[in-house]
Structure 1
Amino acid sequence: MASATRYYADPAEAEKFATALLTKAGLTEEDARSMAECLVLADVRGVDTHGLARLPQYLDRVSNGRVNARPNLKITEKTPVVAHLDGDNGFGFVVATRGMAEATKRAEIYGIGMVTVNHSNHFGMAATYVLQALQANMISLVFTNSAKQMPPFGGKETLLGISPFAAGAPSNNEVPYILDMAPSVVAKGKIRRAARRGESIPLGWALDADGNPTTDANVALNGSMAPIGGPKGSGIAILMDIMSGVLTGAEFGGQVGDQYKDTKPQNVGHCFIALKPDVFFSVDDFKMRMDTLVQRVHGVTPAPGFSEVLFPGEPEHRLGLQRSKEGIPYADAEKIMFAEAAKEYGVPELGLSETPLSRSSGTHDVDFCKNPTSNRISTMQRSADDTKFPQKNLTWQILNHANTHGYAVGAYNCYNTEGVMAVIRAAEQQRSAAIIQLFPWTMHFQGPEFIRYVVSAAHAATAPVAVHLDHCIKAEDVELALTLPFDSIMVDASTEDEESNIRFCKSIVERARALNITIEAEMGRIEGGEDGLPNVNMEGVMTKPEDAEAFVRQTGVHFLAPSFGNIHGGYPAGGAEEAWDLPRLGAIGKLVACQTPLVLHGTHPVSHELFQKTIACGVRKINLNRTVRDEYTRFVADNAGKLELTVLQVEGVKVYTKSIERMMGVMGSAGRY
């Protein structure tokens, strides 16, 4: 007989426990945390069949090599709104979170985004990814497939999966719409849970091996699931196979691997569709209309046997609020499994209480499985402890927001206090993000204390302003830079051979991560020199698109400066228009810019139209030196000795600020904040 004893876990502690186990199993800390959050979110919302109880089975699959603990996720652009993601046999949680992030990223720009996925695995609770889209105020559709568990209507042998279909739509003050339903009467996880706990199942949930209804959970596990609504459930299951298998290149029609039985990769497929409501209405108007719909549903008179009418997703939301306060209840079987897993992997056991926790409010966010590529502005307002690297890095936040919304941000080379003040004032007045850019020369001439002053002033601005160190060529300069509070550093090993460049950049990326510093690198070689940058006498080497993709993957750099004919300093006759190979830049952008924003060096003189063309190719950071500084320099030269020094400085900053503001308009960064 099943035990009725329940043991309660703090959701935050459950996340830490799962993260520790998954990290020990070989996942990166970031992927382990993301997967743990998704599992605990399912438990908090009452979807216990897809929560921590499945963790031992996931650990077994990764330890046996049936799941790739560290997949190399590869995105392929199909059209501006459609992409395909190869999951490289990674955990479905990791792959699917990336898939929905890519879909919402495209929807932010084009109104709709769609990402198909293959070579994935079971991704847990489908509502997880709907909730992820809701954080971006997106309507979403989620499809996935699974191993055969159910016969098609009228058939005897199992052929169809019973993976859920999920959809969501944001609301304002009312609960959002969240539909997460399997094509079977219940998810098979409920059968497994009943078998694990020694419980019977209701008649009508499942069939035995001969096709007869059964209440024995263990017998049902060797039988098949009953479709919901007969041909309707069968039809939905086939639709899931079309959208997730036939369309994506994954397995389908009974060929998806069984995670409990097969030793081969599952090759599960997913499909994520995100829709931006303000294509039709403003987001606020849409959410208000959704509130009205929820209220009308709530206003319907309850039928006999019901005390109220609830909206889809509302029961889980309510339970989530309760469990966030009282803790997640686990049974004896789960308690034993957790203890065994902790012992096997050498991590502290999960703390469990025999009584509900007593807290006035929950500490767990019941509606959000964190999105590792979230681009929302609110991320910038969180403390570093509230999110993950690189999301907590200011340069990354600025450029990722630009990447999402299709504009570029200026990185303004500053040599003195006036330049720093001009950038900050322009950013605040134009409500634009900006990047103050310094050279290694500054570290030596003006010293570390000047760097700290610049960072302090930038971070105190009322608009996002990051501080970046440009063209850090010497190893000793990189070492010094890592001791200072830069938001980002350009590690320039482009004078080295490709292998040395990759090795050096990768080593700095790994070290900088612990310091919350993101890294830019140059691929190929951009000719010329400018103030503060040595003029390297070396033939320019153009970046090859395929090499750029490999370079980003191997080094892990966060931003890439390609060489496509751009030159530091001035251009020869014909200018940038003749020197630049824009098709090459476009090809590079198509391969890498969706994940790794491109950086434009060599921007003087360049027409506004040409800047716009590079932005269309994926450039998100535009380095600007003389383009915004020349008017200021001329003003100072013309008025030095004529004006009092204080007046000269005040008026000079005004001139400098106006030049920067003009470029903010050209790049599209003005008015974004």
Structure 2
Amino acid sequence: MKARFDQKELVEWATQVLKKVSMPESDAKTTAAILVKADLRGIETHGLSRLPIYVKRIQKGGINPKPNFKILKETQTTTLIDADGAMGQVAGKFAMSKAIEKAKDTSVGISSVRNGNHFGIVAHYLEMAINNNMFGLATTNTSPLLAPFGGRKAILGTNPIAFGFPGGKFYPVILDMASSVTSRGRIKLAQLNNEKIPLTWAVDERGIPTDDPNEALKGALLPFGAHKGYGLAVIGDILSSVISGAGYLTHTGELYKEPEKPQNLGFFMMAVKLEAFIDIDEFSQKITDFIKTIKDSPKAEGTKEIFMPGEIEYIRESENKELGVPLGENIIRELKELGDSIGVEFNCQQK
């Protein structure tokens, strides 16, 4: 059973933690809010569970809490940004803001980022575009976790690719997906629980699919859809890192193992003004009908409702805003230990 906490209290506490390790208040609040939003949406792997490693990386030098963003190249529609080792959420917000700013003038804005770090849930940056009557695209690369199709060594990141559109009278449509079948975190959980994993999740050191999480953790994750997921991982890395000048493939810092080393991840963010193609009211009408047609279509036996991409996360967020942000015992313990270690007591009250 998970304990529940007030959203504002958690954001304020996490903000104070990040301020304690020299991050300016506005940047600390940005990071804290994005972390808590992930927990609100049930995406625990990208929520407050990441705060301890973020703090450790700041303390060890892997994250720069006071970056000086540099614009390396700029055109009417594009911006190349050196994030100076910034917290990923701070760099991500800056990059999408620049893309939106340009899209307001030219209908299309694209930001490419180098020297970034892990930036949390991609959906947040797409919502920035959506809230400006735009649609968005965002990618980032990660440290190597994924074997290429036919390979046995982790060469590629899980490299999420995400798209987001306003939803008219429904929730926005947001597809935010990594290129792997599952996360390394789920394999670690199976290891802790002494459980087997599906053979489709990972390969061992020889490149053979394994149901043993211990062997899987020595090997590599598998891409979803075999060659299709592999292809998306490749494209995500090229878009994110090769064109930005960031680290790619094995030329990136590992989030947990090398806290003193900047990850040098790359981001690619694009915002496109819908009015460049269609009147906003007309789009809203059409996308509402589009979504309604899908949701009202005949359902398979045993299915009560058809959900759009991202809809379940929005429903969870709405429910958890009322009930409280759910946090597991292990995460609460880690947050209390973190607070004690830097002098910011975890004093958030359970609801």
Matching residue within 28, 31, 37 for 1:35: 31
Instruction: Measure the CA separation in 2 of the matches of 1:325 and 1:196.
Output: 34
Residues 201, 129 of structure 1: alpha-carbon distance in 2 compared, 3 angstrom cutoff: farther
TM-score, with normalisation over the residues of structure 1? 0.50
Matching residue within 17, 21, 25 for 1:21: 17
In structure 2, the partner of 1:207 is 203
In structure 2, the partner of 1:642 is none
CA RMSD of aligned residues (A): 1.8
Q: Indicate if the aligned counterparts of 1:8 and 1:329 stay in contact, CA closer than 8 A.
A: yes
3-state SS in 2 of match to 1:21: helix
Matching residue within 271, 296, 321 for 2:318: 321
**Residue identity opposite 1:274 in structure 2:** A
Residues 189, 138 of structure 1: alpha-carbon distance in 2 compared, 3 angstrom cutoff: farther
In structure 2, the partner of 1:265 is 262
Q: Indicate if the aligned counterparts of 1:196 and 1:333 stay in contact, CA closer than 8 A.
A: no
Instruction: Measure the CA separation in 2 of the matches of 1:283 and 1:218.
Output: 52
Instruction: Measure the CA separation in 1 of the matches of 2:92 and 2:191.
Output: 27
In structure 1, the partner of 2:113 is 117
The 5 Å alignment of 1:582-593 reads: none
In structure 2, the partner of 1:61 is 57
Q: Percent identity?
A: 35
The 5 Å alignment of 1:188-587 reads: 188-192=184-188, 194=189, 198=193, 200=195, 202-203=197-198, 204-214=200-210, 217=213, 219-262=215-258, 263-353=260-350, 357=351
- Bigger CA drift: 173-182 or 261-270? 261-270
**Residue identity opposite 2:269 in structure 1:** F
Q: Indicate if the aligned counterparts of 1:172 and 1:287 stay in contact, CA closer than 8 A.
A: yes
Listed one character per residue, the Cα deviations across residues 334-378 of structure 1 (whole Å, up to 9, x for unaligned) are: 11101101101111314253xxx4xxxxxxxxxxxxxxxxxxxxx
Matching residue within 92, 96, 99 for 2:92: 96
**Residue identity opposite 1:187 in structure 2:** S
Matching residue within 139, 144, 149 for 1:148: 144
Residues 189, 274 of structure 1: alpha-carbon distance in 2 compared, 3 angstrom cutoff: farther
Instruction: Measure the CA separation in 2 of the matches of 1:307 and 1:180.
Output: 23
- Measure how far apart 1:91 and its partner are: 0.8
- Measure how far apart 1:328 and its partner are: 1.9
Listed one character per residue, the Cα deviations across residues 555-600 of structure 1 (whole Å, up to 9, x for unaligned) are: xxxxxxxxxxxxxxxxxxxxxxxxxxxxxxxxxxxxxxxxxxxxxx
Listed one character per residue, the Cα deviations across residues 387-422 of structure 1 (whole Å, up to 9, x for unaligned) are: xxxxxxxxxxxxxxxxxxxxxxxxxxxxxxxxxxxx
**Residue 50 (structure 1) aligned with residue 70 (structure 2):** no
Instruction: Measure the CA separation in 2 of the matches of 1:120 and 1:234.
Output: 23
- Measure how far apart 1:256 and its partner are: 1.6
Aligned length: 349
**Residue 169 (structure 1) aligned with residue 165 (structure 2):** yes
3-state SS in 1 of match to 2:250: coil
3-state SS in 2 of match to 1:88: coil
Instruction: Measure the CA separation in 2 of the matches of 1:9 and 1:217.
Output: 32
Instruction: Measure the CA separation in 2 of the matches of 1:220 and 1:89.
Output: 31
Instruction: Measure the CA separation in 1 of the matches of 2:5 and 2:30.
Output: 19
Highest relative contact order (Cα 8 Å, sep 6+), 1 or 2? 2
- Measure how far apart 1:122 and its partner are: 0.6
Q: Indicate if the aligned counterparts of 1:151 and 1:158 stay in contact, CA closer than 8 A.
A: yes
In structure 1, the partner of 2:126 is 130
Instruction: Measure the CA separation in 2 of the matches of 1:90 and 1:217.
Output: 33
Listed one character per residue, the Cα deviations across residues 151-200 of structure 1 (whole Å, up to 9, x for unaligned) are: 111112221110211110112211111000011112334445x2697474
- Measure how far apart 1:15 and its partner are: 0.6
Instruction: Measure the CA separation in 2 of the matches of 1:196 and 1:36.
Output: 30
**Residue identity opposite 1:126 in structure 2:** V
- Measure how far apart 1:201 and its partner are: 6.5
Q: Where does the alignment leave 5 or more consecutive residues of structure 1 unmatched? A: 358-673
- Measure how far apart 1:209 and its partner are: 3.2
Instruction: Measure the CA separation in 2 of the matches of 1:157 and 1:224.
Output: 6
- Measure how far apart 1:223 and its partner are: 2.5
Q: Indicate if the aligned counterparts of 2:172 and 2:310 stay in contact, CA closer than 8 A.
A: yes
**Residue identity opposite 2:127 in structure 1:** L
3-state SS in 2 of match to 1:130: helix
Instruction: Measure the CA separation in 2 of the matches of 1:143 and 1:189.
Output: 20
Instruction: Measure the CA separation in 1 of the matches of 2:347 and 2:203.
Output: 36
Instruction: Measure the CA separation in 2 of the matches of 1:311 and 1:199.
Output: 34
**Residue identity opposite 1:280 in structure 2:** F
**Residue identity opposite 1:330 in structure 2:** L
In structure 2, the partner of 1:12 is 8
In structure 2, the partner of 1:377 is none
Residues 124, 66 of structure 1: alpha-carbon distance in 2 compared, 3 angstrom cutoff: same
3-state SS in 1 of match to 2:299: coil
Listed one character per residue, the Cα deviations across residues 418-438 of structure 1 (whole Å, up to 9, x for unaligned) are: xxxxxxxxxxxxxxxxxxxxx
**Residue 185 (structure 1) aligned with residue 155 (structure 2):** no
TM-score, with normalisation over the residues of structure 2? 0.94
Q: Indicate if the aligned counterparts of 2:152 and 2:205 stay in contact, CA closer than 8 A.
A: no
Instruction: Measure the CA separation in 2 of the matches of 1:100 and 1:266.
Output: 20
Instruction: Measure the CA separation in 1 of the matches of 2:162 and 2:347.
Output: 31
Listed one character per residue, the Cα deviations across residues 577-624 of structure 1 (whole Å, up to 9, x for unaligned) are: xxxxxxxxxxxxxxxxxxxxxxxxxxxxxxxxxxxxxxxxxxxxxxxx
3-state SS in 1 of match to 2:207: coil
In structure 2, the partner of 1:578 is none
Matching residue within 63, 81, 102 for 1:85: 81
Residues 325, 222 of structure 1: alpha-carbon distance in 2 compared, 3 angstrom cutoff: farther
**Residue 70 (structure 1) aligned with residue 56 (structure 2):** no
3-state SS in 1 of match to 2:176: strand
3-state SS in 1 of match to 2:268: strand
Q: Indicate if the aligned counterparts of 2:152 and 2:219 stay in contact, CA closer than 8 A.
A: no
Residues 343, 127 of structure 1: alpha-carbon distance in 2 compared, 3 angstrom cutoff: same
Listed one character per residue, the Cα deviations across residues 113-145 of structure 1 (whole Å, up to 9, x for unaligned) are: 001000001111111111121111210000110
3-state SS in 2 of match to 1:271: strand
